[in-house]
Structure 1
Amino acid sequence: MSNLVIVLFDGFAFGMLLFVLSVGLSVTLGMMNFINLAHGAFGMLGGYVTVLVMRQLGLPFIVALPAAFLAAAALSIVIERTLFRRLYRAGELNQVLFTIGIVFVATAVATYFFGTVQQPIRLPTWLRGTVEIGGIRFGTYRLFLIAIALAITALLVFGIERTRLGAQIRAAVDNQRVAQGLGLNVEQIFGITFALGSGLAGLGGALAIEIVGLDPSFAFHYLVYVLIVVSVGGLGSITGSFVGAALLGIGDVAGKYFVPEIGSFLIYLILVAVLLWRPLGLFGRR
């Protein structure tokens, strides 16, 4: 029983990492209808910014996290204004080819400056070790990761459902012309939304270093996981991203622990089963 609890806990923690990495893409893809496959590159940027901040500047991990968010958000604003904005009305194929090209460029840049080796970081003492609860030891960092994901979920749901900016985002998504006629700056709203989504990817990349590592293949490897989470949860649904990420995280860890022969393929089986049952995802809407 203790092994089962630990597997479920580790799986949920991994799922929360996937949630932080993927929820930004769910928002931009579901609300802005823009296929941004470069989302993983912003996550990788957040990871490398964390490494630089901690190694070169000597700042603590807790300071590197907001730095990763801000760096990814700032770069995304530049790219959105100069490149992506030209593709909003383009076809899906143009968006896919262009954004996946950015991932290739980002991978080459990371390889040139950092090489192909893993980039470890040293966590502060209070995030290392375990915490005993009910006679079972849980990883302190994984508890921290779950707490971060829950806080982000609450803030996003409140921000989109209960604030003026959230109402403006929903209005701009539903009908751009009417929103512009009402005096809303749709381009600025989309820019803020894109920066938020990319910043969360950067934060996810920073949090991922301790769990899955960081190297130039990060942008490609975890883009697959992110797309699966978005597909299972449903486009534009924060709740869907949360539930989908938790389901896939638990399925991935449990599969590798209990049935290692097919463990790596279990998440794909979950993806197929969910989409056969609900083609728009668990919480997707037309």
Structure 2
Amino acid sequence: MLTNLLGVLFDGIAYGSLLFLISVGLSVTMGLMNFINLAHGAFAMLGGYACVVLMSRAGMPFLLTLPLAFAASAAVGFVLERTLYRRLYKAPHLDQVLFSIGLTFMAVAGATYLFGPTQQPVALPDWLRGQVSLLGLDVGTYRLFLIGIVIVVTLALGYLIERTRFGAQIRASVDNQQASAGLGINVNRVFSLTFALGSGLAGLGGGLGIDVLGLDPVFPIKYMVYFLLVVAVGGAGTIKGPLIAALILGVFDVAGKYYVPEIGAFVIYGLMVVLLILFPSGLLGRRT
């Protein structure tokens, strides 16, 4: 019983870590840039397909495709921010929702046309397969790898936002764009790079998540609610909030599907309602 409980807890943490990695970029765009980007999952899907194409057609090893998946999603995010998203920063939220959901449907149609409607396989290296013994518990090697990646990314992202000049420019640009521009900060460039960073993290998460979440053209729609849940429960504009929320939701989702499979898919929705009643602005969201 205890072994099963620890196994479910570990799988839930790994699953939640992956949700956080994909969702943290959405937290940045919604909380810092005040843009509701429902097409965020499309950037994750782009990263996943980039990994698949590079492995299957270019013969690249899995680990080498991950930074390229990040770069591909970041580059597309940068271009779209410059050409499309920027026009809607001051638009009503309904316009942002309609635009981004339309972009999602276009991404789904494009992926279906290029790659077909079927699930895409991923060939993990041998050393990421199987299980390892951790404190007497047999855990999946790949899930342990996911947790390690998320720890590194979280520390790096926290350092970038809180300790670097670029992070200070992001916070200043969000708080007061006119004052920041008056101080010599290129606000447009800061927003473009921030959006590209969030898109790149989504692409990295999409590549890492092929073996766990799967990859098909409806990926952005299938997991859209999960990404929004992480941001809503954790609080937009923070890093720690979505991390805590993703871990909680991941553990409860896996536990629900394991212990009560009949209603397991609805466990996190009930949990979301309870958490939002207790924390209307999110676990670590900004209070008004």
Q: Would you say same fold, with TM above 0.5?
A: yes
Runs of at least 5 residues in structure 1 that lack an aligned partner in the other structure? none
Show the counterpart of 1:61.
62
What's the CA shift for 1:222? Answer: 1.1
What's the CA shift for 1:136? Answer: 1.6
Show the counterpart of 1:208.
209
1:102 aligns with 2:100: no
Deviations 1:202-260 (A, max 9, x none): 00100110112100110111111000000000011100010000000000000111111
Show the counterpart of 2:163.
162
Deviations 1:108-152 (A, max 9, x none): 000001111000111001111110123321000000000011111
Residue 128 of structure 1 aligns to which amino acid in structure 2?
Answer: R
Show the counterpart of 2:274.
273
2-structure distance, mates of 1:212, 1:160: 28
Deviations 1:62-92 (A, max 9, x none): 0110011000000011111110110011110
Q: Which runs of 4+ in 1 moved over 3 A?
A: none
What is the count of residue pairs matched by the alignment? Answer: 286
SS of residue matched to 2:102: helix
Residue 99 of structure 2 aligns to which amino acid in structure 1?
Answer: F
Residue 247 of structure 1 aligns to which amino acid in structure 2?
Answer: I
1-structure distance, mates of 2:159, 2:203: 21
2-structure distance, mates of 1:153, 1:280: 22
Residue 75 of structure 1 aligns to which amino acid in structure 2?
Answer: V
2-structure distance, mates of 1:178, 1:113: 46
Residue 73 of structure 2 aligns to which amino acid in structure 1?
Answer: A
User: TM-score, normalized by length of structure 2?
Assistant: 0.98
Query: Matched residues, percent identical?
Result: 60
SS of residue matched to 2:139: strand
1-structure distance, mates of 2:238, 2:77: 21
What's the CA shift for 1:28? Answer: 1.1
Show the counterpart of 1:226.
227
Show the counterpart of 2:19.
18
Q: How does 1:1-286 map to 2 (within 5 A)?
A: 1-286=2-287
User: TM-score, normalized by length of structure 1?
Assistant: 0.99
Residue 249 of structure 1 aligns to which amino acid in structure 2?
Answer: G
Residue 225 of structure 1 aligns to which amino acid in structure 2?
Answer: Y
Residue 171 of structure 2 aligns to which amino acid in structure 1?
Answer: R
SS of residue matched to 1:33: coil
